[in-house]
Amino acid sequence: MLTMSSALDRCRRYYADRPAVIDREGRWTWAGHLDRIARLAGGLQALGVKRGDAFATLSRNTFRNFELLHAGYWMGAVPAPVNIRLAAPEIAYILDNAGAEVVAVDAPFLGLFDHEALAPWRDRTIRIAGAQDDAADADADPGAAWPEHDYETLIAGAEPAGLHEAQETDPAILLYTGGTTGRSKGVPLSHRNAVSNGMQVGHTVGIYSDDVYLHVAPMFHSADLLGTGFTLMGSGHAFLPAFTPADLLGAIQDRGVTWTMLAPTMIIMTLQQEDLSRYDLSSLRAFLYGSAPMAAEWVERTLKAFDGVELIQGYGLTETSPILSLMSHREHVEAIASGNRERLKAAGRPIIGVDMRILGPDGREVPNGESGEVVVRAPNVTAGYLNLPEENARAFRDGWFHTGDVGRMDDNGFMYLIDRKKDMIITGGENVYSLEVEAALYQHPAVGECAVIGIPDSKYGEALFAAIVPQPGQSVGAEELVAHCRERIGGYKIPRQYAFLPELPKSAMGKILKTALRETYSDPAAERETVAR
C-alpha cells in the first residue's frame, strides 16, 4: 500500500534498531520513536481526535513536531501544520477552515491564544515544551495559566493506539499555501500523494537507511515533505528549530547529517560564515535547494566550499507534495564546466512519474522554446483545494493541474521558469515578465536583492516598480539603474520607479512576498525614486 501508515509499519519491522530521531534532547531508534507516537496517538484519541479528524500544530522544527506528524499517520487523523509567523486572526482562519479538533502549540506561541480570535481553541490546546522552554518557564510568572493538556504528560498517561491502515486516497496531511498570491488555501495531500513523491525523489537522488536528514525548511511548509523519502527508507531525522549558519553547521557536525534542504539565501549566508573551515562536515552528502535558482557565481562558490557535497535544485509546489522537477549535481557541474551558465537558470527536468507540458493561451501545447503555463499530472498531485470549488474548477482541468507558473521547455527536457502568471505585468498593452527584468537588475554589481512588480498607472494600466536591496556597503540610484537596464532590455520593460530598502518582505522559505510590496507601493504616497521617461 502507498500509505504513510504502511511506511511506519515497515520501519517497525525492518529498521527497529536503527536511529530515527537524533536530537540534542536525546536519540530514539525507530522502535522507540514508534512507541512514543503510538502513545501520542492514544492521547489524541483521549482528547476526542478520531480517524479522519484534523488536528493542528503550531510549532518550530522539533522532534515533537515530527512525532505529531507521525501520530496522525499512525492513527488515521490529519495533521494540519500552521505557519508560526502568522498573526492570531490568520491562525484562527486556518484552524476554522481545517476544522481542527485540537491544536498542539509550542510554549513560545501560547501567548497568541490571548487574542480574541483564538478564544475558541484555548481549552483545546496541547502545550509542547522542550528542555529550553521548561527552563524559561521557571522564570515566568508563577500564576501564568498554561493549557490543561501537556504534551509529555499526555504521552506518559496514554494507552498506545493501534496502527490504522489508511487507504491510499485518505488525506495524510493538510497543508496551507503560503498566501503569496492571496489568502492561504488548504491543500489536502493523500497518502498516495506523499508516498509517491517520497519514492520519486528517493529514486532520483538516492536515499539510504544510513542517511540522516536535517529538517531546516519550516515543518509547516511543503518543502519539509522532502523528509518523506527518508522516512520511507528508515533513515534518521534531525531538526533545526531556527536557521543560523552556525547552528546549521553545528548540527551537521554533531548529528552526522548527510542531507538537508535549504533556500538559496541560506546557502549564501552559510558561505559567508567566517569560520566555515573549523566545522567537520565530512558526513554531509548533499544540499537540495529550492524556492528560486541560484546565481552561477554562488553555485561555483558552493561547489568549491563544499567539495564532494552534491548540489541539487528542486522545483515544486504545495499542491504537488512538493517536488516536480530536479536538476542533479552532475548537471550543475556540467553547466559550470561547459560555460553554459544559462542552464543554471533551469528548474531541472521532471522526475519520474511527472508528466509536464507547457500550454499556450489557447490551451494547446507550445513548441520547445516558447513560453506558456506549466501544467502537470502525476501521482503526487493533490485532488484539489479544501472547500474551494471555483478554485478547483480553474486549477484542475481534464486531469491536469494548472500551476499558475509560466515556463518554457528546451530540447533537452529542461524546464525554465519565467514567472508566475500573476506576476506578469501588462504595461501599455505589452506583457512583461518580472523575472526577466530582475535578471537585468541583478547584473548591476550594487544590487543585492530585487523584486519587480506592477502597480496601478492611469496611463499605462500598470507601471513597473522595482524594490532594491543594495549590496552591503554599496549604494545605487534610480537613474543609474535605468541606464544600466537600457543596455540590456527593451525600454518598455525598464522600471521607472524604485524603492531602496534594507530588506525585502519574505515568506518562511525565503520567497519574496510581492503581494506585500504591491500593497505598500500601490499607494502613491509611499516613498520612492522616480525617473521620467
C-alpha distances (whole Å) from 364 to each of 37, 361, 376, 394, 413 are 48, 7, 14, 16, 18
For CATH 3.40.50.12780, the residue range(s) in the chain are: 1-11+23-189
| pLDDT (0 to 100) of residue 142 | 36
Question: Candidates 3.40.50.12780, 3.40.50.720, 3.30.800.10, 3.40.50.150; correct CATH number of 1-11+23-189?
Answer: 3.40.50.12780
| pLDDT (0 to 100) of residue 422 | 74
Low-confidence stretches of the chain (pLDDT beneath 70): 131-147, 178-182
C-alpha distances (whole Å) from 291 to each of 95, 261, 288 are 26, 11, 11
| pLDDT (0 to 100) of residue 134 | 53
| pLDDT (0 to 100) of residue 180 | 46
Which helix (H) or strand (E) segment holds residue 479: the answer is: helix 478-486
Contacts of 53 (CB under 8 A, 6+ apart): 77, 78, 99, 101
| pLDDT (0 to 100) of residue 182 | 55
> Residues 111-157: pLDDT tens digits?
999 999 999 999 999 999 875 665 445 444 333 444 679 999 999 99
For CATH 3.30.300.30, the residue range(s) in the chain are: 428-530
> 374 has which bridge partners?
358
| pLDDT (0 to 100) of residue 253 | 98
| pLDDT (0 to 100) of residue 131 | 58
Q: State the average pLDDT for the chain.
A: 92
> Residues 13-63: pLDDT tens digits?
999 999 999 999 999 999 999 999 999 999 999 999 999 999 999 999 999
| pLDDT (0 to 100) of residue 179 | 56
C-alpha distances (whole Å) from 172 to each of 192, 354, 375 are 9, 20, 24
| pLDDT (0 to 100) of residue 148 | 72
DSSP per-residue letters across 204-223: HHT--TT-EEEE-S-TTSGG
Class of domain 428-530: alpha beta
